[in-house]
Structure 1
Amino acid sequence: MPSISIKGREMPASPIRKLTPYADKAKQEGKHVYHLNIGQPDIETPQVMLDAIRHIDFKVWAYTPSEGTANYRARLSNYYNALGYGITARDILVTNGGSEAITIAMQACLNPGEEIIIPEPFYANYNGFACSAGITIKPILAHIDNGFALPPIAAFEELITAKTKAIAICNPNNPTGYLYSRQELEALRDLCLKHDLFLLSDEAYREFCYDGREFVSPMHLEGLEEHVVILDTVSKRYSACGARLGCMITKNKALWNAALKFAQARLSPPAVAQIAAEAALDTPQSYFDAVKEEYTARRNALVEGLNRIDGVYCPNPGGAFYVVARLPIDDGDRFCQWMLEHFSYNNATVMMAPASGFYSSPDAPKNEVRLAYVLNINDLEAALTCLQKGLEAYPGRQK
C-alpha cells in the first residue's frame, strides 16, 4: 500500500475540534453540552448581509478576479482608511477566509525551512498553516501571571537566527484575549526594522476591544510600510464565520504581487460572500456598539465567575472573546475529555479547548484551558456552575 506524505503525517489535528466525538457521544446520551470550546458567536449576522444574499439576481455564478472584486476592494479600503491605515484598494488581496490570508502570507514571505517567531499560546491552526508552507514556528512563551503580555524583546532577540524571516502576532489575541499596547507594538517595530523582518498581524478581533482600551495596528506605526502584513476576516466582525472571506493587506508591492500568484493558483475568492461582505460595510455603528456591550458583559460574567471558583485563576482580557484560565487539575487534555465522557450536572456538561493545543514549547503549562464567551450570560452562568461541580468531582484535581 502506498504511504502518505511526510507533510500529511506531520499536519497537526485541531485541538479545538478533536474532542468533538466525545461531545457528540455526550449529546447522544441525552446530556446538554455548553460549547465554550470554539469561537462561533451566537450574535446575529447583520441583516444587510443576509438581505444582500437574498436579493442576488445574477444569471451566471461566475469566477471573480483572483484578488477580489474591484467594488469590494474599493469599499473595503475605505473601511480601513477610516481606521487610519492609509491604504488603497491595490494593497488588498481578498482571500477564502482569514485562514487562506495567513497561509498565503506565510508562503509569500518565507522560504521552506525559514522561521517565524510567534508569542504563545497562539491560535492553534498557525501550526497547520506553517506545516502547509513548509516553515518552522519558533514559539516564545507568554505567561498567565502577567495576563499574557508580550514577552521581553530580549527574548525575541535570543531566538533570531539567519533563518528568521518574520514575527507574527494576533491582536487582540486568540486564545488569551490580550490586547497589545502601543509601546509593545513600537518595540516590535524597532526589532523588525533592526533585523529586516516581516511583521504579520492577525487582526480578526479588531472590533472587540473593551474598557475603552486603544487598538493599535502595526499599520499605524511609521517606518514599517514595507514590513507589515495585515491578516483579516469577516468571520468575527460580522458573526459570519460560514462566509469564509478574509483578506491580506500589504503596502509592499513585491510581496502583494507574489501573493497574487498564490491567489491565482486557487482561482478566486467566493462571489456570494463578497456580495454579502460589501453590503456588510453598511452595517450601522449601533450594531457594533451593542455587540461590544454584550461581549463586555459576558467577559465580566465569565472572568468573575471563574475567579470565584476555588483554585481557578483567569486574567481579565482586553479584547476578543476568549479567556485562558488556570485550573487546579493535573492535565487539561485529560480533564476536558473527562468532562464530556464521565461527568454531568443537572444532565449537562461543558466543552472546553485544552490550552495545550495553543502551545508548542515542551515546558508549556498543562493545567490551562481556553474558554470562548460566545454564549448568553444565562448559559455562561450555568456552564460555570457545571464546571465548578466538575472540578470538585474530578479525580485528577490538584491542591
Structure 2
Amino acid sequence: MPSVSVKGRSMPQSPIRKLVPYAENAKKKGVNVIHLNIGQPDIKTPQVALDAVKNNTLNVLEYSRTEGSEAYRKKIAGYYAKHGIMVSANDIIVTTGGSEALSFALGTIADAGDEIIIPEPFYANYNGFAIANGVKVVPVVSKLDHNFALPPIEDFEKLISPDTKAILICNPGNPTGYLYSKEEIQKLAVIVKKHNLFLIADEVYREFVYDDKEHYSVLREEGLDEYAIIIDSVSKRYSMCGARIGFLVSKNKEVIETTLKFGQARLSPPTYAQIASEAALDTPQSYFDEVKTEYVARRDLLITELQKIEGVKVARPQGAFYCIAELPIENADDFAQWLLEDFRVNNETVMVAPAGGFYATKGLGRNQIRIAYVLDRESLKKAVHILSEALKSYIG
C-alpha cells in the first residue's frame, strides 16, 4: 500500500481544532459548548465591507493580479502611513490570509534544513508552516512567571548557527497577548543586523493594544529595511476571518520579487474578499475605539475570574485577545477532552485549546491552556465558572 510523505506524517495537528469532533458530539447530544478555543471574534464586521460586496457591479469574476490590485495595495500603504510605517504599494504582496503570507515568507528566505528562531509559546501553525517548508523551528523559551517577556538577548545569540535565517515574533502575541516594547524591537534589530538575519514580525493584532501602550512595528525601526518582513491580515482587525486576505510587506526588493513568484504559482488572491477588504480600510476610528474598550473589559473580567480559582496562574495580556492559563493538573489535553465528553454544568461545558501545541520544546505547556476572550462578558464569566467547577471535579 502506498504511504504518505514523512513531511505529511510530521505535520502537527492544530491544538485549536483537533478537539472539534468531541465538541460536535457534545452538541449533537444537546450540550451548549462555550468556545474559548478559537480566535473567532463575535464583533460585527464593518458594514462598509459587507456592503461593498453586496453592491458590487462585477459581471465577470476575473483573476486579480498576483500581488493584489494596485488600488488596494495603494490604500494599504496609506493605512500603514497612519501607523508610522512608510511603505509603497510595491512593497506589498496581498495573500490568501496571513497564513499564506507567512508560508511565502518562509519559502522565500529559507531552504530545507535552515532554522528559524521563535520565542515560545507561539502561534501553533508556525510549526506547520515550518514543516511544510522543510524549516527547523529553534525555540527560545519565554515564561509565564515573567509574563512571557522577551527572553534575554544572550538566549537568542547562543541559538544562532550557520543555518539560522531569521527570528520570527508575533507582536502583540498569539497565544500570550504579550506586547514587545520599542526597546525589545531595537534589541532584536541589533541581533539581526549583527548576524545578517531576517526579522519576521507577525503584526496582525496591531490595533489591539491596551493599558496606554503603543505598538512599535519593525518597519518603524531605522536601518531594518533590508532585514524586516511584516506579516499582516484583515481577519481579526475587521472581524473578517472568512475573507482570507493578508499581506506580506517588506522594503527588501529581492524578498518582494521572490514572494511574487510564490504568489504566481497560486495565481491570485480572491477578488470578492479584496473588494471587502479594500472597503474595510474606510472603517472609522470609532469602530476600533469601541472594540478595544470591549476587549479590555473582557480581558479584565477574565483575568479577575481566573485568579479566583485556586491553583490557577495566568499571565496578563497587553494586546491581542488571548491569554495563557496554567492549571493545577498534569495534562491539559486530557482535561480539554474530558470537559467535552464528560463534564456539564446545567448542560453546558467549555472548549479550550491545550497549550502544548503552542510550544516546540517537548513537554512545555503540558498543564496550560490558551483562552480566547472573543465572547461577550456574560459568556466569559459563565465559562470561567464552568472551568472552576470542572477543575474541582477533575482533580477530585
User: Normalising TM by the smaller chain, what interval?
Assistant: over 0.9
Which blocks of at least 5 consecutive residues in structure 2 are unaligned?
A: none
Kept in 1, the 8 Å contact 2:204–2:233? The answer is yes
Q: Deviations over 1:196-219 (max 9, x none)?
A: 000000011100001111111111
Q: Secondary structure at the match of 2:317?
A: coil
* 1:365 Cα offset (Å): 3.5
* 1:6 Cα offset (Å): 1.4
Matches within 5 A, 1:348-387: 348-387=348-387
Q: Deviations over 1:252-272 (max 9, x none)?
A: 001110000000000000100
Q: Deviations over 1:117-155 (max 9, x none)?
A: 000000000111111111111011110001000111100
Matches within 5 A, 1:49-88: 49-88=49-88
CA distance in 2, matches of 1:10, 1:308: 39
Indicate the residue corresponding to 2:21 in structure 1. 21
Report the residue type matching 1:143 in the other structure.
Answer: K
Indicate the residue corresponding to 2:33 in structure 1. 33
Indicate the residue corresponding to 2:162 in structure 1. 162
Indicate the residue corresponding to 1:147 in structure 2. 147
Percent sequence identity over matched residues?
55
Count of residue pairs the alignment pairs up: 396
CA distance in 2, matches of 1:228, 1:360: 24
CA pair 292-142 structure 1, distance change in 2 beyond 3 A: same
Report the residue type matching 1:355 in the other structure.
Answer: A
Runs of 4+ in 1 over 3 A off after TM superposition: none
Q: Secondary structure at the match of 1:384?
A: helix
Q: Deviations over 1:168-197 (max 9, x none)?
A: 000000000000111111110000000000
Matches within 5 A, 1:253-268: 253-268=253-268
Q: Deviations over 1:30-54 (max 9, x none)?
A: 1111100000000000000000010
Report the residue type matching 1:10 in the other structure.
Answer: S
CA distance in 2, matches of 1:116, 1:323: 24
Matches within 5 A, 1:1-399: 1-395=1-395
CA distance in 1, matches of 2:338, 2:363: 23
* 1:251 Cα offset (Å): 0.2
CA distance in 2, matches of 1:97, 1:78: 20
Q: Secondary structure at the match of 2:67?
A: coil
Kept in 1, the 8 Å contact 2:356–2:363? The answer is no
CA distance in 2, matches of 1:224, 1:297: 36
CA distance in 1, matches of 2:28, 2:270: 35
CA distance in 1, matches of 2:10, 2:150: 29
* 1:20 Cα offset (Å): 0.5
Q: Secondary structure at the match of 1:394?
A: helix
* 1:362 Cα offset (Å): 2.1
CA distance in 1, matches of 2:39, 2:365: 22
Q: TM-score w.r.t. structure 1 length?
A: 0.98
Q: Secondary structure at the match of 2:168?
A: strand
Q: Secondary structure at the match of 2:158?
A: helix
Report the residue type matching 1:245 in the other structure.
Answer: I
CA distance in 1, matches of 2:206, 2:114: 29
Q: Secondary structure at the match of 2:157?
A: helix
* 1:3 Cα offset (Å): 1.2
CA distance in 2, matches of 1:362, 1:66: 39
CA distance in 2, matches of 1:273, 1:189: 34
Which blocks of at least 5 consecutive residues in structure 1 are unaligned?
A: none
User: RMSD over aligned Cα, in angstroms?
Assistant: 0.8
Report the residue type matching 2:4 in the other structure.
Answer: I
* 1:369 Cα offset (Å): 0.4
CA distance in 2, matches of 1:365, 1:33: 24
Q: TM-score w.r.t. structure 2 length?
A: 0.99
Q: Secondary structure at the match of 1:159?
A: coil
Q: Secondary structure at the match of 1:289?
A: helix
